[in-house]
Amino acid sequence: MNALTQPIDIITARQNPRRWATWLAYFGFFKVMASEAFLYLIGWQAWTVLSAIYFFGAVWLLVKERRRDVLSQMPWALRALLLLMLLSLGWTNYPMYTGMGILGQLTNTTFALFLVAFFSWRELLKILAGVLRWVLWASLAFELAAALFVHGPVQRIFGRHYPGPLPANRADYWVQGDILSGGRFQGILGNANLVANVAILAIVVFAIEWSLREVKLALSLTSMASALAVFVLCQSGGAAFALLAMALTAVVVFLAEGHDRDTRHRYYRNALASVGAASLVVLLFRRQVFGFIGKSPDMTGRSKIWKAVQALIDQRPVQGWGWISSWMPDAKPFTNLIVLKGVHYYSAHNSFLEFWLQIGIVGFGLAIALVILTFVRLWRIGVRHTSKLYLWPVLVFVGLIVHNLIESRLLIENGWVLFVLFIVKANDPIDSLEPMGVPSKRVQRRQQGKLKV
């Protein structure tokens, strides 16, 4: 073992002189990953206090450790997007909620910058893996308790949006408690699609963690089994497509690595052509495809949602209606805008439509630009570096973006924190990456007996 291949020690909370930063990272990540659980368990007021804790903690550590230079890594498009959110106060249709939304964006942006400033990609992998494990295990325990002991739905303690002692609709319960009879897994987040997103991110993170031998085999196998079980039980078509996109990305990375520019680009063209052809097949035969995975052709009413959102966009295409991030039930024009089978929906179920709806065509363009620029930077790192460590950022980023084509999570909590984290962290200096080893990732996999060519 030489200087190039010697592993870098992982910093733990007990060994690290910056132990408060490590604990804050775990706490903040868990809060944004399990945000709904905190809302339903302790209510808005206590939830706000938790947000304030990791915001002021991040500010204090950034100032104390003089890490303010992380601001210089923010690309102009991200600065412009945040400025546009602030400027929307001048024309918003709901000034109070726009102010609240901007505060939320500032809080989570600051936390993301704190993560960029204090932790390497390897340390972030360790922290994220630990948080995802606890979210999944807590979700499994909660669902089993509901099914075995409650024998039915569990109400939210806080965050109720219905009159009377009982919910008017099954969707207003925290969980249905029916996973043993074939119901969808909702976990501590109370939403199958959201917890499925956690599961697919966990599958990738745990796979990379195992390949790097970061944890014991027993923990690795238990973690992966938990993630796969949750993913299957959630029955989420959107998460399945996102996982497929991440798998395709991993295949292309391994095929392209180590080849000359022309060969790499040939692989890229073939991959794009394959994705385009597959997308066309899904579009033309969507009834059969979605029926095969137990979904309706419009992905559970999303076409109706998108039509309603597009109608609002057409009224204010340039400036948008004002930043709000997550819709509020009493904010016009969102009140009773979308009601499907008696259930009220308070999101566009597409993050990029949300940007256009809330801050206009410029906001939409900036969001798309950030996605493209960040993907290119993460892709270059993932393909060119020999360590499998640098696969997880590009794979998780792809999963995050694909899943947010049918969800609006990119604007809030874990979605926004990860989005900003990747955008800014991708601009780290090259010399901050770990030294390259001699064998490529493909050679390493052959040596481990995992890849036969």
- Calculate what percentage of the chain has a pLDDT beyond 70: 84
371 or 339, greater pLDDT:
371
In a domain, 12, yes or no: no
End-to-end CA distance of the chain: 27
Q: Does residue 6 fall inside a structural domain?
A: no
Per-residue pLDDT of 272-317, as tens digits, reads 777 777 766 666 665 665 555 555 555 667 788 899 999 999 999 9
Tens digits of residue pLDDT in 49-108? 999 999 999 999 999 888 888 898 999 999 999 999 999 999 999 999 999 999 999 999
At how many degrees (to 10) do helices 217-234 and 121-145 cross? 60
Chain center to CA of 390: 17
Per-residue model confidence as pLDDT tens digits over 178-234: 888 888 999 999 999 999 999 999 999 999 999 998 888 999 999 999 999 999 999
Listed in sequence order, the DSSP H helices in 293-337 are 302-315
Q: What is the DSSP letter of 444?
A: H
Separation between Cα atoms, residue 136 and residue 187, nearest integer Å: 8
* Residue 272 maps to a domain: yes
Beta strand residue intervals within 287-420, DSSP E: 339-340, 343-344
In a domain, 453, yes or no: no
**Residue-range definition of the domain harbouring residue 85:** 19-447
- Rounded to whole angstroms, the Cα distance separating 70 from 14 reads 25
Record the tokens describing residue 156, joined without a space: 């939210």
Residue 235 has pLDDT above 90, yes or no: no
The total number of structural domains in the chain stands at 1
Please tell me the predicted confidence (pLDDT) of residue 345: 82
